[in-house]
Amino acid sequence: MTGKELAEMRRRAGLSQAALAQRVGISRQTVSYWEGKPALDGRAATLTKIACALDPGDREVILSSRAGLGFISLHFQGAVLSEHLSLIGTAQAQRKTVLASMRRRTCKAMTRRGMECLLKTEPGKRRCRLHGGLSTGPKTDEGKARIAKAQRKRRVERRKAKKTPEAT
Q: What is the pTM of this model?
A: 0.41
Backbone region of residue 14 per phi and psi (left: phi > 0; alpha: psi in -120 to 50; beta: other values): left
pLDDT tens for each residue of the chain, 168 residues long: 788 989 999 999 999 999 999 999 999 999 999 999 888 887 889 988 998 888 888 888 888 777 654 444 444 555 556 666 777 778 888 888 877 776 778 899 999 899 999 998 887 788 888 888 766 678 899 999 999 999 999 999 999 988 876 665
Mapping DSSP to helix (H, G, I), strand (E, B) and coil, where does residue 120 land?
Answer: strand
CATH class of the domain comprising 1-59: mainly alpha
Q: How many residues does the chain have?
A: 168
Task: Work out the angle at residue 11's Cα, subtended by the Cα atoms of residues 78 and 19, and round it to the nearest 5 degrees.
Answer: 125
DSSP 8-state class, residue 126: S
Give the residue extent of every domain in the chain. Answer: 1-59, 96-136, 139-167
Q: What is the pLDDT of residue 69?
A: 47
